[in-house]
């Protein structure tokens, strides 16, 4: 695990776990009874506390085969914007207001309104929902945008935009709603929603970004793995939402779904956790960064080479799952060694022609120099940013170290000792 992970302290973890565990079994029993009343069979699955994750998860009740239907939920169990529009109180607020909510804001409003009622139809489900989240937004961590890797910034910008809009709109619709209630509801929707196609459209809502968000009780208790064992989807006829295994699952083991192929920074911002050794971590190398690295390695670039790099538009992203630089990265480096007479037929030279030994040697030499230059740059970024986001840069350094370790263990030892 990275030295720079944002793990909670031992005391906080124990406090958090005991708070989570108090009455958890009774809450699970009440929830299972409630979900069964909604015509959902629990023959294949159990709901249990996962101490490692610090929350609940879904487990196999028996050995399950690949392709088996684990859960079937009638569509009216889904909490969507239609649920909010069919809810007399929410619907009256939404229709009577002069601001338009987005579908996910309407769902958040429903959670705020129903959470207050002890006799809510949803009470057994709401009792299962977390009250706190480990996301930077919930924890009030003030992230400077330029301290995040470039590709991760959009998530933070989107979240700021969404929460600001919610803080602005909800009190106009439901005066007296506190920021804490809105922050909680936004997190419930954001950490638990699933994208479902073809949900109904409501004129009273702002559908400019579509309406595809649903919170699905029970399905939303599946934890994330990049190597999931099931898939959740709406059945073709549109009447049933189902969870189907796509590998065999042994009795007693946890069933995982994937929330997407996310880096740790994205998982942290969206869901409040990170995966040790996450193979989805990546270093995104834009053309500007690629060129800056080449120049730092004392190579002058002919303007036409820059143009060719632009035209080739190759993806130079390096993933934690790679044990070498990507094909796009290596091809971009090959372009740097084109001779002037080859410029007009660069495509053929780069993709079809054999590379002679001399150029091959130059390419690997430059690759090695660029990795080390990039590593120095990432170490500097890591050391310059605030504590909360250091892990983002360390994750990237770890990717390069893994490549260097497989490729040239000795070179790494002599050159990188100073950065440790």
Ligand X SMILES: C[S@@+](CC[C@H](N)C(=O)[O-])C[C@H]1O[C@@H](n2cnc3c(N)ncnc32)[C@H](O)[C@@H]1O
Q: Which residues bind ligand X (CB under 6 A)?
A: 53, 55-57, 130, 191-192, 220-221, 223-224, 271-273
In angstroms, what is the minimal distance from the CB of 272 to ligand X?
5
What is the per-residue burial (b if ≥16 Cβ within 10 Å, else e) of 144-157?
Answer: eeebbbeebeebbe
* Other Cβ atoms within 10 Å of 339 Cβ, number: 8
Q: Rounded to whole angstroms, how far apart are CA atoms 319 and 263?
A: 10
Nearer to ligand X, 163 or 325 (CB): 163
In this structure, the strands spanning 223-224 and 230-234 are unpaired
In angstroms, what is the minimal distance from the CB of 50 to ligand X?
7
Nearer to ligand X, 21 or 315 (CB): 21
- Give the H or E element holding residue 109: helix 103-115
In angstroms, what is the minimal distance from the CB of 347 to ligand X?
43
Nearer to ligand X, 114 or 220 (CB): 220
**Position closest to ligand X via CB:** 55
In angstroms, what is the minimal distance from the CB of 386 to ligand X?
23
The answer to whether 17 and 54 are in contact (CB under 8 A) is yes
What are the φ and ψ backbone dihedral angles of 73, each rounded to 5 degrees? -125, 125
In angstroms, what is the minimal distance from the CB of 212 to ligand X?
17
Nearer to ligand X, 58 or 113 (CB): 58
Q: Rounded to whole angstroms, how far apart are CA atoms 158 and 142?
A: 15
Nearer to ligand X, 120 or 207 (CB): 120
In angstroms, what is the minimal distance from the CB of 267 to ligand X?
8
- The alpha carbon of residue 288 and the mean position of all alpha carbons in its chain are separated, in whole angstroms, by 26
Nearer to ligand X, 169 or 187 (CB): 187
- Supply the DSSP symbol for 152: G
């Amino acid at each position: 695990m990275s030295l720079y992970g944002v793990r909670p302290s031992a005391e906080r973890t124990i406090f958090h776990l005991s708070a989570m565990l108090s009455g958890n079994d009774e809450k699970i029993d009440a929830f299972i009874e409630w979900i069964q009343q909604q015509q959902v069979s629990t023959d294949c699955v159990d709901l249990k506390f996962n101490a490692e994750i610090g929350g609940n998860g879904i487990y196999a009740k028996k050995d399950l085969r690949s392709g088996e239907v684990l859960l079937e939920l009638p569509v009216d169990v889904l909490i969507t914007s239609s649920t909010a529009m069919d809810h007399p109180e929410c619907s009256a607020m939404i229709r009577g207001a002069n601001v338009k909510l987005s579908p996910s804001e309407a769902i958040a409003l429903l959670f705020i309104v129903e959470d207050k009622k002890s006799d809510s139809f949803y009470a057994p489900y709401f009792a299962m929902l977390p009250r706190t989240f480990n996301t930077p937004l919930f924890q009030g961590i003030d992230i400077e945008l330029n301290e995040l890797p470039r590709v991760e910034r959009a998530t933070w910008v989107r979240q700021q935009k969404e929460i600001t809009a919610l803080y602005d709109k909800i009190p106009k619709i439901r005066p007296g709603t506190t920021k804490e209630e809105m922050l909680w509801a936004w997190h419930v929707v954001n950490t638990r929603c699933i994208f479902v196609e073809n949900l109904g459209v409501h004129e009273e809502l702002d559908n400019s970004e579509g309406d595809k968000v649903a919170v699905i009780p029970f399905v939303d208790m599946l934890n994330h793995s990049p190597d999931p064992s099931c898939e959740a989807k709406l059945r073709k006829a549109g009447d049933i939402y189902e969870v189907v295994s796509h590998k065999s699952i042994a009795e007693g083991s946890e069933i995982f779904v994937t929330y997407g192929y996310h880096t740790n920074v994205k998982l942290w911002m969206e869901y409040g956790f990170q995966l040790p050794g996450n193979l989805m971590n990546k270093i995104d190398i834009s053309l500007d960064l690629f060129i800056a690295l080449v120049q730092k390695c004392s190579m002058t670039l002919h303007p036409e080479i820059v143009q060719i790099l632009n035209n080739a538009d190759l993806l130079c992203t390096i993933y934690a799952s790679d044990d070498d630089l990507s094909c796009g990265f290596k091809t971009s480096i090959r372009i740097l060694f084109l001779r002037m007479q080859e410029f007009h037929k660069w495509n053929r030279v780069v993709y079809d022609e054999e590379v002679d030994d001399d150029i091959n040697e130059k390419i690997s030499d430059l690759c090695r120099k660029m990795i080390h230059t990039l590593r120095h740059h990432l170490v500097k970024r890591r050391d310059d940013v605030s504590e909360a986001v250091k892990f983002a840069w360390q994750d990237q350094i770890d990717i390069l170290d893994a490549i260097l370790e497989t490729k040239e263990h000795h070179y790494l030892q002599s050159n990188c000792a100073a950065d440790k």
